[in-house]
Amino acid sequence: MLFNVPQFLDIEDKIVGPLTAKQLGWLGLGGVVALVFWNFLDTQGFIIAAIIIAAVFSAMAFYRPYGQPLIAFLSSSVFYIFRPRMYVWHRLPEKIVIPKKGKDKNAIIHERKKISGDKIEELSKILNQNH
């Protein structure tokens, strides 16, 4: 039997012309916000607000920094600013024992390799010979 395998799974479906559903939603939301501002502002204030609204919602619909939607980029930026960042390196213990389940109850023991300074010098000489 032959089956059709879907391709281009990372591309969103076009709903209206070249616009996807998310893009259409952002532009529609921008239109609703502009309509609300039309009711509350005078003509000059509305024109200024409409330019800002159009720029913001167009960016939300079409601009994709680093291949991700702008809203995801902005939320990642906010989380990066407000979450604590501390990177600590922990040395692995000399011996790691992993118990096995089932019939064979023997544990798996992983030991850290010990390399002497002479061995490191020997390896560096071997690597340098190839260049």
Residue 98's SS3 state is strand
33-85 tens-digit pLDDT: 999 999 999 999 999 999 999 999 999 999 999 989 999 999 999 998 998 88
Q: What is the pLDDT of residue 46?
A: 96
Res. 102: pLDDT tops 80: no
Is pTM beyond 0.75? Reply is: no
d(CA 19, CA 15): 6
Rg (CA), the chain: 29
5-32 tens-digit pLDDT: 877 777 788 888 899 999 999 999 999 9
Res. 103: pLDDT tops 70: no
Residue predicted with more confidence, 49 or 115: 49
Q: What is the pLDDT of residue 24?
A: 95
Q: What is the pLDDT of residue 22?
A: 92
d(CA 82, CA 21): 31
Q: What is the pLDDT of residue 104?
A: 60
Closest by Cα among 34, 26, 74 to 52: 34
